[in-house]
Chain A
Amino acid sequence: EAQVTQNPRYLITVTGKKLTVTCSQNMNHEYMSWYRQDPGLGLRQIYYSMNVEVTDKGDVPEGYKVSRKEKRNFPLILESPSPNQTSLYFCATSRRGGAGELFFGEGSRLTVL
């Protein structure tokens, strides 16, 4: 079954404590991306990756890091989380360079106290 798997699904943490949200896909897609969803703002892109070792900033990259060491994984790293990073995060993949259908994970709800 084609899947985009995110972990953890829910996390409550404190300001400044480094955390990583993992994303893994089994569809052999080259393109992967992270979004955050906030009420009234829709989805905003944080970072994306067109292929292994290729990453680029989206619209709201501040406070986040990513890496793409292998095709199937695209972790999102918050080095020093702050309360304004409290949000619902989605990983998404696409089979052809970002164009066409995006396949989303189920989301990771992060609360930073």
Chain B
Amino acid sequence: GEDVEQSLFLSVREGDSSVINCTYTDSSSTYLYWYKQEPGAGLQLLTYIFSNMDMKQDQRLTVLLNKKDKHLSLRIADTQTGDSAIYFCAEEPDNYGQNFVFGPGTRLSVLP
């Protein structure tokens, strides 16, 4: 079945760049997503990339997609303390999307 993997923890210094990595298994995924979960809250969509793209940039966020290796990454430039959260990678394995597959989440800690 589908599986999405991420490292569970990442610590960076404020002002540095953060890179959160994700590997997925379903090459037919149409979209790949990054969701952010702040403490005590639900998940919110951070950004997404269509499967025919290699890169997407949105202000401080850069998403890179390597379809050959089924590898997705999220880079956060100039990381701030407000970026401390859990980041989930998710794939949408089929056209109906009724069963998004989420990774375990990477807890990003930003140190002052």
User: Chain A residues in contact with chain B, CB under 8 A?
Assistant: 4, 31, 33, 35, 40-45, 48, 50, 56, 58-59, 90, 92, 94, 97-102, 104-107
Stretch in B11-19, B53-61, B73-81, B100-108 with 4+ CB within 8 Å of A? B100-108
Partner of B88, one of A42, A58, A97, A105: A42
Q: How large is the interface on B (under 10, 10 to 19, 20 to 34, 35 or more residues)?
A: 20 to 34
Write the chain B residue with the least CB distance to A57: B99
Residue of B nearest to A97 (CB): B96
Distance (Å) between the CB of B5 and the closest chain A CB?
10
Asked whether B42 is an interface residue with its Cβ less than 8 Å from the other chain, the reply is yes
Contact status B100-A45, CB under 8 Å: yes
Q: What residue in chain B is nearest A31 (Cβ atoms)? A: B98
CB-nearest residue of chain B relative to A90? B42
Q: If the complex has contacts A45-B99, A99-B31, are A106 and B105 also in contact, measured as CB distance less than 8 A?
A: no
Task: Name B's A-contacting residues (CB within 8 A).
Answer: 4, 8, 30-31, 33, 35, 40-45, 48, 88, 92, 95-100, 102-105
Across chains A and B, which 3 residue pairs bring their CB atoms closest together, nearest first? A104-B42, A99-B97, A98-B98
Looking at chain B's contact residues, is the secondary structure mostly helix, strand, loop, or mixed? loop
User: Taking chain A's interface residues, is the majority helix, strand, or loop, or is none over half, making it mixed?
Assistant: strand
Point out the residues of chain B lying under 8 angstroms from A42, CB to CB: 4, 88, 102-105
Q: Would you list 5 pairs from A and B whose C-beta atoms are within 8 A, ordered by A residue?
A: A33-B98, A40-B8, A42-B103, A48-B99, A104-B42
CB of A56 within 8 A of CB of B43, answer: no
- Minimal beta-carbon separation of A53 from chain B (angstroms): 16
Q: B45 touches which one: A44, A90, A102, A105 (CB < 8 A)? A: A102
